[in-house]
Structure 1
Amino acid sequence: MTIERFVRESRTFKASHVLPPDTNNHNTLFGGRLMAHIDDVAAISAMKHARGPVVTASTDSVDFLHPIRVDNEVSLEAFVTWTHQTSMEVFVKVVAEDLLSGKRTVCATSFLTFVAIGPDGRPTPVPKVVAETQEEIFLHDGAAERAEARQQRRKRSKHLADLLGTRRPWEP
């Protein structure tokens, strides 16, 4: 296995025309539709880095900054920013372009974590990632702090799940 890969090797793009069936009553792209696009492009990026199957371990955040409207092009850019032993952090930037005026706006950003899966169905090691550009280095340098926050959030989520349990509200 290659010991390291450059961020650029995982860079992935996806573009889509926003049409009325993709939108809510405000004529803006459904948040869930955008989240599906984000997960898709991020998974492709993680697979390029791992060169194997991956699963989504977490979506740290999807920060919706501006609405995406009917007849906009929505384009997503994803790349691996950081790796651990079997996991990868992927950053996704979402840009909307008004196809009539050409005006572009960053409409959302997101961080997701993926785990590489080996032939045995268990987590498998991934190559280290090498950041080269100023943007890549900036995101890579902040990754350890995000990973720590992710671990703390996961602990709280597990505690909450244990506390709430599986009983349905109408069950005794």
Structure 2
Amino acid sequence: MNELVLPNDTNVFGNLMGGRLMYWMDIAAAMAAGKHCNSPSMTASVDNLSFKNPIKLGNIVHIEAKVTRAFTTSMEIHLKVWGEDSLHQYKYESNEAYFTFVALDPNGKPRSVVPVIPETEDEKAHFEGALRRRQLRLILGGKMKPTDANELKAFFATSNP
């Protein structure tokens, strides 16, 4: 997804407002989720939204959204954002985040989604890490006890000689 940063999108410093970028990222994630599950879906969570570099007035925003893993009814979407200065002809990294979407049936209830089959090394790395990120989200959201997060325990486990 691409957007042009116009004056109404900026703050007093001439930078794209974070809330506007989040809005655009939510739309891009919704399109990726909807395409994957072939049904309407809604945002369940947003985490680790990192602002690396501001995007200036007149620059182009490039948003790439990919479904990294599907669970029973939810999907994790990884978003990467770049800014592009067309005048000086260079692109720069701006943001990165993970969104979680839930697929909905015609009655607005969660419905099952098809699995993701990772192919590239990058896709496989995101797929493998998705379960740990999901468990962390569930713990922070009060939906899972830390003692039940087996993937996280295994990640932090150390062997004692």
Q: Do these two structures clear the TM 0.5 threshold for a shared fold by scoring above it?
A: yes
Report the secondary structure of 2:62's partner residue. Answer: strand
Q: Are 1:62 and 2:67 counterparts?
A: no
Counterpart amino acid of residue 90 in structure 1: I
Match of 1:147 among 131, 134, 139: 134
Match of 1:106 among 93, 98, 110: 93
Q: Are 1:91 and 2:86 counterparts?
A: no
**Superposed displacement of residue 71, structure 1:** 1.3
Residue in 1 aligned with 2:125? 138
Tell me which of the two structures has the higher relative contact order, counting C-alpha pairs closer than 8 angstroms and 6 or more residues apart: 1
Question: What is the TM-score of this pair, normalised by structure 2?
Answer: 0.86
Matches for 1:16-165 after TM superposition, within 5 Å: 16-155=3-142
Structure 2: how far apart are the matches of 1:123 and 1:21? 36
Structure 2: how far apart are the matches of 1:120 and 1:43? 18
Structure 2: how far apart are the matches of 1:28 and 1:81? 30
Counterpart amino acid of residue 98 in structure 1: D
The Cα offsets for residues 17-52 of structure 1, whole Å up to 9 and x where unpaired, read as 111111001100000000000000000000000100
**Superposed displacement of residue 61, structure 1:** 2.3
**Superposed displacement of residue 120, structure 1:** 2.3
Question: % of aligned pairs identical?
Answer: 40
Question: How many residues in Structure 1 have an aligned counterpart in Structure 2?
Answer: 143
The Cα offsets for residues 56-79 of structure 1, whole Å up to 9 and x where unpaired, read as 100112111100001111010001
**Superposed displacement of residue 141, structure 1:** 1.3
**Superposed displacement of residue 119, structure 1:** 1.5
Query: Which shows bigger deviation, 48-57 or 136-145?
Result: 136-145
Unaligned segments of structure 2, at least 5 residues: 144-161
Structure 1: how far apart are the matches of 2:8 and 2:28? 21
RMSD: 1.0
